[in-house]
Structure 1
Amino acid sequence: MPILIAIIGALGAAAYWYFRMRDIGVAGRDLVNVANDVRLAARRFGFSRRSNVHPAESIEDPKVAIGGLAVAFLELDDLPSQEARIAMTRELQQATRVDLEDAEELVILGRWLMSECGGPEPAVSRLSRKLYKLGGGEQLAPLMQVLNAIGAAGNGALSDRQRGALDDIKYAFKL
């Protein structure tokens, strides 16, 4: 009887570790897929990271900066709704004149840029300055088109952090 209990215990422990390791493998594959999505989105928009330079300073396409600002502005809302995310993607598609797939990749790349900046507040400040350097005041109209769509989605009111972000954008564009 003790041998039977030991065998059942060993089988149970083996099954426990097998399923646990399998879940770790699935999580690892998911992380690789996320990193691959960011890499492919960056490649599509010609973004290449340079050594010893912050990724936000490596941006050469205003569309990438607008995508990053849109994601950061959305994340400044306390609980962004799915409706607001969809509105952001749709308006990003129209404002930057890209197809839906490219707009979704701009969102992926924008989320990565936001995380590289250390959160939404620093991302808004840094990316708005970079957007101004790239295209001057003419880039403000497409940016505001996207930000207005984000603000109008959901309950239609901006959070305090989003209003502060608009002040940062005004400062960056010297308004």
Structure 2
Amino acid sequence: MHILLAAVGLMAAAAFWIYRIRQAADSTRVVLDAAQDVKAAARRFGFRSRANQHPTEGVDDPRVTGAALLILVAESDGAISKAEQNCILEQLQTVFQMPESEAEELYLFAKWLANQSSNPDDMIRRLIKRTVHLGGRDTLPDLIRMVDAVGKVDTGELATDAEHVIEKLKQLRS
């Protein structure tokens, strides 16, 4: 009887560890898939990593820098809420006239880009500069409206950081 109990115990232990190994493999696969999605989006939107240059300099599409700016505005009060994410996606679809799948891809890549600097203020400054460089001053009114919409999502009032970004954008417009 004790041999049978030992065998059942060994099988239970083996089943437990096999289950744990499969869970770890699934988690790894999810992370790798997310990384592949960001790499694919980077290629799709023309990102080229350049040695000794800030990541914003590798972007050749003003939609990417504009979307990254929206991400930073949404993150200014902590993590991005579901309402902020939905607002950003809606803004990308409406202003850039892109389908939902492309807007989601742009969102993923912009989120990666926005988090490439430990200093959000410096990144905001670089993103504004790069957006104007790539898209011209004609992009500023749309960008101001987008930042305004994202800045008001959670509270209904414009967040202080969003106000500062809008002020910087308005200074460039005049």
Partner in structure 1 of residue 82 of structure 2: 82
Partner Cα separation in structure 1 for residue 43 and residue 146 of structure 2: 23
Query: Structure 1 residues 31-40 or 136-145, which shifts more?
Result: 136-145
Query: Structure 1 residues 162-171 or 135-144, which shifts more?
Result: 162-171
Partner in structure 2 of residue 31 of structure 1: 31
Query: Structure 1 residues 142-151 or 131-140, which shifts more?
Result: 131-140
Gap regions ≥5 residues in structure 2: none
Identity of aligned residues (%): 32
Partner Cα separation in structure 2 for residue 71 and residue 169 of structure 1: 16
Any idea what the Cα deviations from partners look like across 1:94-152, whole Å, max 9, x if unmatched? 22232322222211111010122236444323212222332342221121121122133
Deviation at 1:79, TM superposition (A): 5.4
Partner Cα separation in structure 2 for residue 49 and residue 25 of structure 1: 30
Residues 1-175 of structure 1: pairs in structure 2 closer than 5 A: 1-78=1-78, 80-118=80-118, 120-167=120-167, 169=169, 173=172
> Is the contact between residue 144 and residue 169 of structure 2 (CA under 8 Å) also seen in structure 1?
no
Task: Summarize the Cα distance change of 1:159–1:8 in structure 2 as closer, same or farther, 3 Å threshold.
Answer: farther
How many equivalent pairs are there?
174
Partner Cα separation in structure 2 for residue 5 and residue 165 of structure 1: 68
> Is the contact between residue 72 and residue 119 of structure 1 (CA under 8 Å) also seen in structure 2?
no
Query: Structure 1 residues 104-113 or 79-88, which shifts more?
Result: 79-88
Partner Cα separation in structure 1 for residue 55 and residue 78 of structure 2: 26
Partner Cα separation in structure 2 for residue 156 and residue 63 of structure 1: 25
Alignment TM-score, normalising by the size of structure 2: 0.83
Any idea what the Cα deviations from partners look like across 1:22-57, whole Å, max 9, x if unmatched? 011111110111011112212222222223333211
Any idea what the Cα deviations from partners look like across 1:57-113, whole Å, max 9, x if unmatched? 111111111111111111113454323321221112222232322222211111010
Gap regions ≥5 residues in structure 1: none
> Is the contact between residue 148 and residue 158 of structure 2 (CA under 8 Å) also seen in structure 1?
no
Partner Cα separation in structure 1 for residue 116 and residue 79 of structure 2: 21
RMSD of aligned residue pairs (Cα, Å):
2.5
Partner Cα separation in structure 1 for residue 32 and residue 49 of structure 2: 19
Query: Structure 1 residues 160-169 or 20-29, which shifts more?
Result: 160-169
